[in-house]
Chains A and B, each alone.
Chain A
Amino acid sequence: MSQDVGHAVQGATEESQLYGVLAEFEDVNSLMSAARKVRDAGYKNWDCYTPFPVHGLDKAMGVQSTRLPWVVLCGGLTGCLTGLLLVWWTNAISPDGVGYALRGYDFQISGKPKFSLPANIPPIFELTILFSAFGAFFGMLAMNLLPKFYNPVHKCKRFNRVTQDRFFIGVEADDDNFDLLETTKLLNDAGASAIEELEE
C-alpha cells in the first residue's frame, strides 16, 4: 500500500488495500462522455457498469470485438463431428476386437443402407446446434470470468442501483496510470455525481 493513498482512504484500516475508485453517473450522456475521457487518459484496468447494454459504449471505451464467435464455431464443428461419428460407429460398423458394449450395432432395418447421410442428418444437425449453444453460453461465462461471487464493487451501497437506474465507472488501483487524486479529479470533472474509494 503506497503512502500517498493511505491518508485518502476514509475508514480504511491499515491492512486493507485500495481496489480502485467508483464514480456514479446520472444518465447515459454523462457516462458516455466520461468514458471517452477515461479512455483518452490511457487507462487500461477500468470498466463501465450499466443497467442495460448501452449502444455506442464499446466504442467510447475502446473495447475490441470479442472472440466468442470462434468458440461457437469450434463448438459447432465438434458437435457435427461427434454426431457423424456417433451415428456411423453405433449403426454402420461392428468391428471385432472392440469390447461388446462399445462395439457398434450394425442391424439391417427395412432394407435401408447401414450408413447414408440423409437419414442421419437430423441427429448430426441437432448435436451441431447443441454444442454451438454450449460454446456460446459457457464460452461467454468463461471469458467474463463468471461466476464470481466476490467482487469489491459490491461493497459500495450506491452500486446496488447499477442494475436498476444508475451508471458507474470503476478505475482499478492496479492500473499503471492510477493515481488516487488525479483519477478522482478526472472522474469528477467528467461529471460524476458521486465518487467512492473501494477496498480490496
Chain B
Amino acid sequence: MDAHIERAPLVIGSNDFTTVTDKICRINEQKPSFSWWIALLISGALLSMLGLLIGYLFLTGPGIWGNNQPVAWGFPITNFVFWVGIGHAGTLISAILYLFRQDWRTGINRFAEAMTIFAVICALVWPGIHIGRPWLPYWMFPYPNQMGMFPNFRSPLLWDVFAVGTYFTVSLLFWYMGMIPDLATLRDRSKTRIRKMVYGIFSIGWTGSNRHWHRYERAYLLLAALATPLVLSVHSVVSFDFAVAQLPGWHTTIFPPYFVAGAVFGGFAMVLCLAIPARVIIPGLSEIMTNRHMENMGKVMLATGCIVGYAYSTEFFIAYYSNNPYEGFTFENRMFGPYAWAFWTMTTCNVFLPQLLWFKKIRQNMGTLLMIAIVVNIGMWFERYVIIVTSLSRDAMPSAWHTFTATWVDICMLIGSFGLFFTLFFLFIRFLPVVAIAEVKAVMPQAHAHGHEDEEASTAQESQ
C-alpha cells in the first residue's frame, strides 16, 4: 500500500486509554439528564399502550384487528418481518465486518448489537400474540405431550421458530460476551456498593488476564464466524414463509437474497436513526462514533438500497417475462390497484430517495442522513405491507377477494412496539456500556508495541 496515503483515525480528538474510558463510562456514571427522563417517559407510555392493547386483544380476540380472510396476516406479520429485519444490521456490523477486519466497526458494534437484541424482542411479540389462542404459544415447540403430536418440521413456519429462536440466543450470547470486559471496567470504577455488586456479578470476575483474553478472542472469532451464516439464514427462512407458499407475488426464488439485502438496508437505517440523535444527546460520543462511521453506514445503505431496487425490478420483469397471468396481474395490481399508494410510498422511500446518498455532502450532513434513514425505515415497513397485503387480498380467485383495512388497534400496536424498542434502548444507554471500550482501545495507535524484537520461534512452554 502507498505509505503516503494516511488512513483516517478511528478515534478522533486527543484521546488516550484514560479519556476513552472516562468518556464512555461517564454516560453510565453520572446522573441521567432531563432529556433522558423525558425520552424514557414517552417510550414507557407507548410501551404501556402496547401492553394494554395486548390485554384488550387477549380479552376480545383477533377481531379487533383488521385481519380477516383472506388477509389473515395483516399488520402483525408485517411488523414481525419489519422488526426481525432491523436486527440484521447489528449482526452484520458485529460479525461480518469483524471477519472482514473492518476496524471502524468497533465504535458502533455494541450499539448495533443492542439494537439487534431489542428488535428481535419486538419481533417475537407478534407471532406470540397472532396465533389466535395466545395462551398456547408453547405448541410451537417440539415437546412430548398428552396429544401424542409433534409440530410439522416440513413447514417454514416451524423453521422460523428455530431460526429466530437461535438468532436471538446467539445474538444475546455474542452481545453479553462482548460486554464482559466493559462491565468489569464499570465494576472497577464503581463508587457505591450496589453498583460494585451488580456489575461485579455480571462481569463474572473478569481480570483482563491475557490467558483469558486469548481464549476470549478465539471464542469471539468463532461466534462471529457462526453468526455470519446464521444471519443470512434467518431472513432467508423468514422469506420462505412466503416463497414456499403457492400465492402469486410470494412464490418466487428471489425472496431469500432479496429479503436479506432488505433487512440489512432497513437495519442500517435504524442504526443511524439511533446513533445520530445519541451523538447529540451524549457528549463525547461523536469522537468515538465519528462522522466517518455515519458516512460509512450511509454507503452501506446506498449499496443495499440499490440491491433492493434491483430485486424489485427483477420481480416485475419475471412477472412479465414468465407470461403467468396471475403473477402478471398481482404486480399490475401492486402498482395500480387499491394499495398503489403503499407501493409508491415503498418505491419512493426505498429506491428513489436513497439515491441522494451518492452525494458526499448529503452523506456527511447528519441532518439529511437522519432524514433519509427515517424515510428508509418507513419504506421498509411498507415493503412488507405491500408483499403481505396486496398478495393476500387479491389472489387467483376473484370471489375470495377482500380489501384489508387497518383498525386503530393495528396502528396503535405498531406505535406501541416502538415504545418497547425505545424503552429497552434508553435503559441500555443508561446502565450498560454503549461502546465496546476494550475493542476501541485495541484499535488506538497506543495499543501496539513498537518494533518486533521477538520474532524468533516462540519457546512455547505450556499447554492451555
| Partner-B contacts on A (CB < 8 A) | 27-29, 32-33, 36, 39-40, 42, 44, 47-69, 72, 86-87, 90-91, 99-105, 107, 109, 112, 119-120, 122-123, 125-127, 129-130, 132-134, 136-137, 139-141, 143-144, 146-151, 153-154, 159-165
Given the interface pairs A52-B442, A90-B150, A129-B230, the reply to whether A63 lies near B211 with Cβ below 8 Å is yes
Q: Mark B186-213, 1 if CB is under 8 A from A, else 0.
A: 0111000000000011001111111111
The answer to whether B207 and A52 have CB atoms under 8 Å apart is no
Task: Tell me if B31 counts as interface (CB < 8 A to partner A).
Answer: no
The answer to whether A137 and B162 have CB atoms under 8 Å apart is no
* Least Cβ–Cβ distance between A120 and chain B, in angstroms: 6
Interface SS of B by simple majority: helix
- The complex places the Cα of A109 from the Cα of B158 at a distance, in Å, of 14
Return the chain A residue nearest B244 by Cβ.
Answer: A119
The answer to whether A122 and B145 have CB atoms under 8 Å apart is no
Question: Out of A36, A67, A149, which one reaches B454, CB within 8 Å?
Answer: A36
The answer to whether B226 and A133 have CB atoms under 8 Å apart is yes
* Least Cβ–Cβ distance between A192 and chain B, in angstroms: 16
The answer to whether B18 and A163 have CB atoms under 8 Å apart is no
* Least Cβ–Cβ distance between A165 and chain B, in angstroms: 4
- The complex places the Cα of A67 from the Cα of B462 at a distance, in Å, of 13
Question: Out of A39, A62, A91, A149, which one reaches B153, CB within 8 Å?
Answer: A91
- The complex places the Cα of A174 from the Cα of B150 at a distance, in Å, of 57
* Least Cβ–Cβ distance between A133 and chain B, in angstroms: 5
The answer to whether A58 and B212 have CB atoms under 8 Å apart is no
CB-CB under 8 A from B56, the residues of chain A are none
Question: Out of B142, B439, B447, B460, which one reaches A64, CB within 8 Å?
Answer: B460
Task: Tell me if B345 counts as interface (CB < 8 A to partner A).
Answer: no
CB-CB under 8 A from A143, the residues of chain B are 215, 464
Q: How many residues of B contact A (CB 8 A)?
A: 80
- The complex places the Cα of A57 from the Cα of B424 at a distance, in Å, of 38
- The complex places the Cα of A112 from the Cα of B153 at a distance, in Å, of 11
- The complex places the Cα of A121 from the Cα of B185 at a distance, in Å, of 42
The answer to whether B209 and A49 have CB atoms under 8 Å apart is yes
The answer to whether A69 and B144 have CB atoms under 8 Å apart is no
Question: Out of A36, A55, A72, A139, which one reaches B447, CB within 8 Å?
Answer: A55
The answer to whether A162 and B188 have CB atoms under 8 Å apart is yes
The answer to whether A122 and B162 have CB atoms under 8 Å apart is yes
CB-CB under 8 A from A56, the residues of chain B are 449, 452, 454
CB-CB under 8 A from A39, the residues of chain B are 459, 461
The answer to whether B153 and A123 have CB atoms under 8 Å apart is yes
Q: List 6 A-B contacts (CB under 8 A).
A: A39-B461, A64-B463, A101-B148, A122-B162, A130-B169, A144-B216
The answer to whether B154 and A147 have CB atoms under 8 Å apart is no
- The complex places the Cα of A101 from the Cα of B142 at a distance, in Å, of 11
The answer to whether A123 and B158 have CB atoms under 8 Å apart is yes
CB-CB under 8 A from B109, the residues of chain A are none
The answer to whether A53 and B438 have CB atoms under 8 Å apart is yes
Task: Tell me if B324 counts as interface (CB < 8 A to partner A).
Answer: no
The answer to whether B188 and A101 have CB atoms under 8 Å apart is no
The answer to whether B449 and A123 have CB atoms under 8 Å apart is no
Return the chain B residue nearest A147 by Cβ.
Answer: B204
- The complex places the Cα of A47 from the Cα of B21 at a distance, in Å, of 23
Among B57-98, those with CB < 8 Å from A are: none
The answer to whether B219 and A147 have CB atoms under 8 Å apart is no
The answer to whether A140 and B216 have CB atoms under 8 Å apart is yes
CB-CB under 8 A from A91, the residues of chain B are 150, 152-154
